[in-house]
Structure 1
């Protein structure tokens, strides 16, 4: 399975189609992948595992989300005022 993820990451160009978000507006897709990345990191850190699989979510949200949003969300997480459940 790890080889499969590494293969996908190597061939990664931009965010693939996600049937949960079929519309042109990808705001929710951006938000969900940001949350999934941080949830994945938190879960794998609790298990003491490598956070390699989380890089998929990272690349997707980096390609979809405006940098200003990510910066704002990172600052809110650092301050403890982030509205999402991670």
Structure 2
């Protein structure tokens, strides 16, 4: 399974179509991938696993989310004022 993710990451160009977010507005897709990345990263680090499996969500949210949103969310997480549990 890890090899499959590595192959997908190597051939990655931009965020693929995701049927849960079919509309043109990709704000929720951006938000969900940001949360998934940080939740999975936290869980995998706690178990001592390889974080490279989280790279997919990282690439998707990096390609969909505006940089200003990401920096704001990172600042909120650092201050402990992030609106979601990670």
Tell me the TM-score normalized by structure 2. 0.98
TM-score, with length taken from structure 1? 0.98
Give unpaired runs (5+ residues) of structure 1. Answer: none
List runs of 5+ in structure 2 lacking aligned partners. none
Deviation at 1:59, TM superposition (A): 0.1
Q: CA deviation at 1:66?
A: 0.1
> Are 2:49 and 1:55 aligned?
no
Structure 1 stretches of 4+ moved >3 Å: none
Per the alignment, residue 76 of structure 1 pairs with 76
CA deviation digits over 1:1-32, x for unaligned, max 9?
Answer: 11111000000000011100000100000000
Q: Secondary structure at the match of 2:40?
A: helix
